[in-house]
Amino acid sequence: MSNVIAVVNPKGGSGKTTTTLNVAAGLLRYSEITSSVLVIDMDPHGCSTSTLLGKVEGNAPSRSIFDVLRRAITPHDGITNTVFAENIDIIPSSPHLESMAKTQIFDRLKKVTEALASSYGWILIDTPPNLGVLTQNSLVAAGYVLVPSPINGLSVGTMRLLKDTLDAVQNSSNDLLQMLGILVTMKDARTKLNEKLVKEVTDIFGEDAIFKTHITTNTKLEEAPAEFQSIYSYDSSCVGATVYRDFLKKELLNRLGELEKKRTELIEARY
Q: Tens of pLDDT along 160-186?
A: 999 999 999 999 999 999 999 999 999
pLDDT value for 2: 65
Confidence (pLDDT) at 1: 47
Average pLDDT over residues 207-217: 94
Give the pLDDT confidence of 17-73 residue by residue, as tens digits: 999 999 999 999 999 877 789 999 999 999 999 999 998 776 778 899 999 999 999
How would residue 130 be classed by pLDDT, with cut points 50, 70 and 90?
A: very high
DSSP string, 180-241: EEEEE-SB-TTS---HHHHHHHHHHH-TT-B-S---B--HHHHHHHHTT--HHHH-TTSHHH
Q: How far apart are the first and last CA of the chain?
A: 17
Contact present, 130 and 158 (Cβ < 8 Å): no
Count structural domains, the chain.
1
Q: What is the mean pLDDT of residues 6-20?
A: 95
Specify whether the CB–CB gap between 120 and 36 falls below 8 A.
Answer: yes
pLDDT score recorded for residue 78: 97
Helix, coil or strand: residue 41 = strand
Residue ranges making up the domain that contains 121: 4-269
- Which CATH number does the domain housing residue 85 bear? 3.40.50.300
Whole-angstrom CA distances from 256 to 42, 134, 204, 229 are 23, 24, 21, 25
d(Cα 170, Cα 19) in Å, to the nearest integer?
A: 24
Report pLDDT for 211.
97
Cα–Cα distance, 195 to 264 (Å, whole number): 35
What average pLDDT does range 132-146 have in this prediction?
97
Tens digit of each residue's pLDDT (9 = 90 or more) over 76-120: 999 999 999 999 999 999 999 999 888 888 999 999 999 999 999
Distance CA 103, CA 88 (A): 30
